[in-house]
Amino acid sequence: MARLLGACVAGVGVLLMGCEGMPTVTIHGPDETLRLRAHVLVAETADERRMGLVGRREMAEGEGLLLLFPLEGEVCITNAEVVFPIDAVFADALGRVVAVERSIAAGDPSLRCHAPVLTVLELTSGAALSVQPHDVLERRP
């Protein structure tokens, strides 16, 4: 699954689908200003969420991993086994941004926990610079 993400933008791995076949996530401000757009892979199962970005060497600009949880609640992530820094956007069941964690260092074992959260969008470090709490995250197939 992680290999597809790199193939989309960076030409790494086996190209099985183009970006246009991947879901897109957008984040808009309260005034509908587009803050972010990313093509994403979706991690829905416990195993997919647990693996996250582990094993990836990099993630290109405009790519992301959307972690979907079965129930809204407290969600914790770590970047312990990831070899590049990331930004993480935490959103509730309505898509409202609850928190933004910026520039989580590669290999950082710290837990980043927020609630109430149903989805987490992991991006390259710096990609979520303009995203703020109360913005709205939307996913399109």
> What does the pLDDT look like over 9-65, one tens digit per residue?
333 222 234 466 789 999 999 999 999 999 999 999 999 999 999 999 888 899 999
Return mean pLDDT, the chain: 88
**pLDDT given at position 141:** 84
Question: What would the two tokens of residue 61 be?
Answer: 């600009």
User: β-strand 97-104 against 63-77: which pairing, if any?
Assistant: unpaired
Residues in the chain: 141
121, 81 Cβ separation under 8 angstroms: no
- Model's pTM, two decimal places? 0.86
- The residue whose two tokens read 């992991």 is 122
| Domain range 22-140, its CATH number among 1.10.1060.10, 3.40.50.2300, 2.60.120.1140, 2.60.40.3950 | 2.60.120.1140
Q: How far apart are CA 96 and CA 75, in angstroms?
A: 15
